[in-house]
């Protein structure tokens, strides 16, 4: 896995399947690569219609032929911008879809989850479609990665945990516009981490100068000490499943 800043995550499975989540790359000051450097992708997941989550997703999907999963408003935008409908994988909260890579690079399962936020697409300053945002639990090899998108703290995070038992969690701790309202505070994010109990947690969705990731780490180390915080991780890192394997 490689964290690309804001909410963007790049993954490669043991079999070689490549996945992008919320690939906001162009214009992202925290991203270490350019969109053109991404040459091969099998699956792109977009949690909602905000510009810092849709990012380069549609252009990369058109260029690489990647499967594309998103809420319906982002799907409509992708179709409007010329993404072939054959690449789009429909979903809704609670649904689990299996997506296979081309060649012999394996497959993953992706469960869409509820996220409490807003999602809308604009064109010419007019809103033309909105839809409920979603999050994703990605089942890759023996690892479950939970990317909840932008969400506030809500009690059904406990139910999602009971159903999926994530081992790797990304959790929003701020916003990308300093003066804008925040979905989760560092305390909210640390409490979510306590509820979910991942082996590894990565704070996400913050602007470069934000101190919230460090504040999140401080609180999480107190109330969720068994979860390792990867603070502003740089470069590729790997995760191996813990001894407990949930089926």
* CB-CB contact of 200 with 227 (8 Å): yes
Asked if residue 201 belongs to a domain, the reply is yes
- At residue 5, the pLDDT reads 95
* Beta strands at 120-123 and 126-130: parallel, antiparallel or unpaired: antiparallel
Taking CA atoms, 46 is separated from 21, 33, 56, 112, in Å, by: 6, 19, 10, 11
Domain containing 100 — which CATH number? Answer: 3.60.15.10
Asked if residue 216 belongs to a domain, the reply is yes
Burial 173-194 (b: 16+ CB within 10 A, else e): bbbbeeeeebbbbbebbbbbbb
Asked if residue 235 belongs to a domain, the reply is no
Asked if residue 236 belongs to a domain, the reply is no
Asked if residue 239 belongs to a domain, the reply is no
- How do residues 142-182 score in pLDDT, each as one tens digit? 899 999 999 999 999 999 999 999 999 999 999 888 888 88
- How do residues 78-95 score in pLDDT, each as one tens digit? 999 999 999 999 999 999
Asked if residue 234 belongs to a domain, the reply is no
Asked if residue 200 belongs to a domain, the reply is yes
Number of domains in the chain: 1
Domain extent at residue 49:
2-229
CA distance 168 to 2: 12
Report, in angstroms and rounded to the nearest whole number, the Rg of the chain calculated over CA atoms: 17
Asked if residue 132 belongs to a domain, the reply is yes
pTM: 0.94
- How do residues 45-79 score in pLDDT, each as one tens digit? 999 999 999 999 999 999 999 999 999 999 999 99
């Amino acid at each position: 896995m490689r964290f690309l800043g804001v909410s963007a995550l790049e993954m490669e499975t043991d079999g070689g399947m490549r996945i992008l989540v919320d690939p906001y790359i162009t214009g992202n000051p925290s991203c270490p690569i350019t969109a053109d450097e991404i040459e091969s992708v099998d699956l792109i997941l977009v949690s909602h219609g905000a510009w810092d989550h849709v990012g380069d997703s549609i252009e990369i999907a058109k260029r690489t032929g990647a499967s594309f999963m998103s809420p319906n408003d982002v799907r409509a935008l992708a179709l409007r911008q010329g993404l072939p409908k054959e690449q789009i994988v429909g979903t809704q909260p609670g649904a689990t879809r299996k997506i296979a890579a081309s060649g012999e690079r394996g497959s993953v399962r992706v469960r869409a989850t509820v996220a409490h936020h807003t999602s809308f697409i604009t064109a010419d300053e007019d809103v033309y479609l909105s839809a409920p945002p979603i999050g994703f639990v990605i089942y890759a090899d023996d690892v479950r990665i939970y990317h909840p998108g932008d969400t506030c703290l809500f009690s059904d995070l406990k139910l999602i945990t009971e159903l999926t038992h994530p081992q790797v969690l990304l959790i929003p701790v701020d916003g990308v516009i300093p003066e804008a309202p925040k979905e989760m505070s560092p305390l909210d994010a640390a409490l979510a981490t306590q509820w979910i109990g991942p082996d590894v947690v990565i704070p996400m969705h913050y602007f470069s100068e934000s101190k919230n990731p460090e504040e999140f780490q401080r609180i999480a180390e107190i109330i969720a000490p068994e979860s390792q915080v990867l603070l502003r991780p740089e470069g590729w890192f790997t995760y191996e499943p813990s001894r407990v394997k949930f089926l």
